[in-house]
Every structure is written in structure tokens, then in C-alpha cells.
Amino acid sequence: MTDVLQPNLMSEMGFFFAVLGIALASLLPGIGSAIGVGKAGQAAEVLIHRIEQMNRDMQIPATIAELRREDIPKLARQADKEANPLYPVPVLWNAKELEEIYRMVLPGSA
């Protein structure tokens, strides 16, 4: 499921990944040209697109076929309870915000 959710999660954390792109560019000289971007801030966007392409190449679906709309509130509550604040992540989302992420991978949403 993480493979399906990852591009959506990264897109939702846009600011964090823009900062990451700048950090990568400053830490690794030439990273921009290596991944095909002219500006450091674009690195995060390119990374997300590359992950999406890699998922397509490996035939990882963009949606979760078994996911049902009525399951989303319970899944979001469980994810919220498990992850917050136990996992060291750059962004903490509450159950309502997590519901939005799950909706992104509902069949017919991609």
C-alpha cells in the first residue's frame, strides 16, 4: 500500500519536499543536472514524477482496488492512532487529513 500512497503523500508535503530539493542541491553539487532540473526547488517535483513513473514501470497501481469509501474513516483513525506522534515524520496529519490521502487512491480517482 505504501507504494501506491507514496506519490500522493509526497505531493501533499510539497513544502517539505521543496526544502528537501534545495537541501539535496546544496549537499550534492550537480544534483540538479543529474536529475534533469535547472533549479534546486524543482528537484522534489522531479522526484515525485520519477517515483510515479517507476510505479508505472513496475505495474504498481495508482489506486487500491479493494479500498471502499466506507472504509476510509476507520483506516484514517487507525493510521492516526498508530502514527501520531510515534513515527518521526516531517508532517503530522490528523484523521480527517489522512482521509483525504486515502480518497486519492480510491478506484476511479486516478
Tens-place pLDDT, residues 28-39: 555 555 656 556
Nearest to 41 by CA among 19, 16, 26: 19
Same domain flag for 79 and 58? no
Measured between alpha carbons, how far is 88 from 70 in angstroms, rounded to an integer? Answer: 29
Structural domain count, the chain = 2
Q: Are residues 16 and 49 in the same domain?
A: yes
d(CA 93, CA 83): 9
Let me know whether 4 and 47 are in one domain.
Answer: yes
pLDDT tens per residue, range 67-103? 999 999 999 999 898 887 777 777 788 999 999 989 9
Q: Does residue 48 sit in the same domain as residue 67? A: no
Residue whose cell numbers read 505531493: 11
Q: Which residues have a Cβ under 8 Å from the Cβ of 38 and sit 6 or more positions away?
A: 32
Enclosing domain of residue 68 = 63-110
Same structural domain, 4 and 50: yes
Among 8-12, 22-26, 52-56, 70-74, the range with the most confident prediction by mean pLDDT is 70-74
